[in-house]
Amino acid sequence: MGSVSTSCVVAVTTLLLLLLALGASGQLQVGFYSKSCPSAESTVASVVRGFSDSDSAILPALLRLQFHDCFVRGCDASVLIKGGNNNAEVDNAKHQGLRGLDVIDSAKAQLESQCPGVVSCADIVVLAARDAVAFTGGASFDVPTGRRDGKVSNMRDGDVLPDVHDSAQVLRSKFAASGLDDKDLVLLSSAHTVGTTACFFMQDRLYKYPLPGGGLGSDPSIPAGFLAELKSRCAPGDFNTRVPLDRGSERLFDTSILRNIRNGYAVIASDAALYNDTSTVDVVDSYSGLLSTIFGPYFRQDFAESMVKMGSIGVVTGTNGEVRKLCGKFN
């Protein structure tokens, strides 16, 4: 009898611990706010739409913002914590040129008045990126929500972000460290189908590329005509002029970026690198070949799947973290 009641206590305790653990960890789910804040997703969409009506360049910026949030400490809105004193994550140079934080702040302000303390900044980032994809012509897709906001923001944490000069092998290993495979790397880099880069990120490729015979020059893999075009847009020392990442199709979410990469028309070095490694070449080819639109894997849908995957990196859920009142400040 004694041993029966002991095993009962053990079983009940184990069950309680399990329930506590589940409560603390929670899970992402599509429509997480359907009861607690039914207007959450439509409010984010209307704020994104409002901003993009006056500046359509905000859409690519919002897509990039999810990448920069999720790769550093997971999708926990750590990148939104206000910087300025070289101690916040956003102060890291790897986040250079990041924009769209005001869009997230604006959506947050509206949601705080509709449902105070309910919708996390981390979810707003992911919803806004999802809307940015749809509003530029990509797929409309469901994203699971239920993230909470992290309580840590360190400048040095941003060091883990991929660099524009990383080789395909380094890019692959940085993605793998976040649970993303070669297919995700190519698909997510295809986000460069929209938006622009500052000439800052091309200076080395155009003027300081280490040449095989010694000395510095231009990346020899760039076709001559395209090199002249890029040089005419980005003079030596010009850091600020912006150039489309997807030559000829920077406003539309399509596979043109992959054809450009395939044909040597990648604008930044990290995109060009994807055609220098057999495993990523195969993925690029599978989405950009002549018949890929008919027989190939379905780019728009696969991109959406990779976004959902990226959106689940290191999420804070359940009773962990917090729901910030202001996205730029811990509670």
**Residues at the interface with ligand HEM (CB under 6 A):** 57, 60-61, 63-64, 67, 97, 99, 162-164, 171, 188-189, 191-192, 194-198, 201, 245, 268, 270
**3-class SS string, the chain:** CHHHHHHHHHHHHHHHHHHHHHHHHCCCEECCCCCCCCCHHHHHHHHHHHHHHHCCCHHHHHHHHHHHHHCCCCCCCHHHCCCCCCCCHHHCHHHCCCCCHHHHHHHHHHHHHHCCCCCCHHHHHHHHHHHHHHHCCCCCCCCEECCEECCCCCHHHHHHCCCCCCCHHHHHHHHHHCCCCHHHHHHHHHHHHCCEEEHHHHHHHHHCEECCCCCEECCCCCCHHHHHHHHHHCCCCCCCCEEECCCCCCCCCCCHHHHHHHCCCCCCHHHHHCCCCHHHHHHHHHHHCCCHHHHCCCHHHHHHHHHHHHCCCCCECCCCCECCCECCECC
In whole angstroms, the minimum distance from the beta carbon of 84 to ligand HEM comes to 19
In whole angstroms, the minimum distance from the beta carbon of 270 to ligand HEM comes to 4
Instruction: Specify the residue, 111 or 269, whose C-beta has the smaller distance to ligand HEM.
Output: 269
Instruction: Specify the residue, 88 or 126, whose C-beta has the smaller distance to ligand HEM.
Output: 126
Single out the catalytic residue among 68, 95, 165, 192: 68
In whole angstroms, the minimum distance from the beta carbon of 274 to ligand HEM comes to 8
What contacts 286, CB < 8 A, 6 or more positions away? 292, 296, 297
Active site residue 192: no
Instruction: Specify the residue, 130 or 324, whose C-beta has the smaller distance to ligand HEM.
Output: 130
| Main-chain dihedrals φ then ψ at residue 46, nearest 5 degrees | -75, -30
In whole angstroms, the minimum distance from the beta carbon of 151 to ligand HEM comes to 25
Instruction: Specify the residue, 60 or 158, whose C-beta has the smaller distance to ligand HEM.
Output: 60
In whole angstroms, the minimum distance from the beta carbon of 226 to ligand HEM comes to 18
> Which one, of 264, 209, 274, 255, lies nearest residue 236 by Cα?
209
Instruction: Specify the residue, 57 or 115, whose C-beta has the smaller distance to ligand HEM.
Output: 57
Return the ∠ at Cα 130 (arms to 112 and 255), rounded to 5°.
160
Instruction: Specify the residue, 88 or 133, whose C-beta has the smaller distance to ligand HEM.
Output: 133
In whole angstroms, the minimum distance from the beta carbon of 304 to ligand HEM comes to 11
Question: Which residues are catalytic, by number?
Answer: 68
